[in-house]
Amino acid sequence: MKDQTNYAGMGLGTIAIHAGQRPDPTTGAIMMPVYQTSTYVQPELGRHLGYEYARTHNPTREAFEANVAALEAGTHGIAFASGLAATDTMLKLLNAGDHVVCGEGVYGGTYRLFSKVLSRLGIEFTFVDSSDVEAIRAAVTPKTRLIHVETPSNPMMQLTDIAAAAEVARAAGAWLSVDNTFASPYNQRPLELGAHLVIHSVTKYVNGHSDMVGGMIVVRDDDLHEQLRFLQNAAGAVPGPWDSWLGLRGTKTLHLRMKAHNANGQQIAEWLDAHPKVQAVYYPGLPQHPQHELAKRQMRGFTGMISIEMGSLEKAAAFVNGVRIFALAESLGGVESLIGHPALMTHASVPRDRRYAMGLTDGLVRLSCGVEDVEDLIADLEQALANV
């Protein structure tokens, strides 16, 4: 039984807990069941109950899709087995010879997919500093079909003016896609600012518990949805029902978790900014961030993601190896705090000269501040920095 409720005007917490779901009509179970099946019995030849094969339809996945779509103020959600699978499927909207303008500050896996895989299939890419809208505009060609950005960017925490980028896209007859993974729907809703597609690695803040891998695209346009739904089924990179259920479980506390991530991120960024061993702090919630005013306009919180410059690989290594509560690991957005070294971890596939050109040095460290007690997190960072 699909949710028919109109959630327009309701708070995000209400949407997070209820959208896409209704109590099970057979038992009244309040939680969405895990429909762990690969196929569905048909009453007779030529007639089915809305479900034929699990790659194409699964009720648990449908509930998760509807839930995240509502959180993003979208109409349609299309779920995938990973954030990269979502990005790859989105690019299948294009044809050989089409051109993409991409922000240079994207996840390293996105850069690898675009530059080393999809470029071989005849799609052309131009990477620009998307914090400069004029750089986006200058890169547009008559063949441009898509402008793709991450904001805040990974890991330099630069912002793209989504509304301005959407105007550039409309003038070019192109789509604007925004990877909203770092912000989450709690802090930023790109569709309301003019974007055509929103992408998430739902592995991160949306799920929030580091226990599943998944991706999502959210759109408002019905025709775009039909194209993406066809590609989802045709290419088949769908999440299983259990991962969909875990994602749906995670969204129920999104509004609560993000308040804690935002508060911890802000306090830790301010503390790091005052520390003598930290050369620079990249966090849009700090007044000295060059796009702080833009952040205040298009975001409602600044997340738990912080990047800092330590000055050298040796200092960065000593710092990340010295933490006790923060865990040295890839990924982000879970309730537990993580720390990582982008140059050797998440962005290792990006050429060194390109990394350095956008400030991603060997001394850069990225923190994902969880929801632990902030005093304990600061004490952990303090003892680790004492040995640098």
Q: Residues near 120 by Cβ (< 8 Å), separated by ≥ 6?
A: none
Transcribe 238-302 into DSSP letters: PPPHHHHHHHHHHHTTHHHHHHHHHHHHHHHHHHHHT-TT--EEE-TTSTTSTTHHHHHHH-S--
Q: Give the strand pairing for 305-309 and 280-282.
A: antiparallel
Closest CA to 239 of 263, 208, 207: 207
Q: What spatial distance separates the first Cα and last Cα of the chain, rounded to whole Å?
A: 57
Contact between 175 and 146 (Cβ < 8 Å)? yes
For 283-385, strand residue ranges (E) read 305-309, 327-328, 338-340, 364-368
Amino acid at 118: L
Active site residues: 55, 107, 179, 204
Structure tokens at 185: 């729907």
24/383 Cα distance (integer angstroms)? 50
- Burial annotation 218-256 (CB, 10 A radius, 16+ → b, else e): bbbbeebbebbeebbeeeebbbbbebbbbbbbbbbbbbe
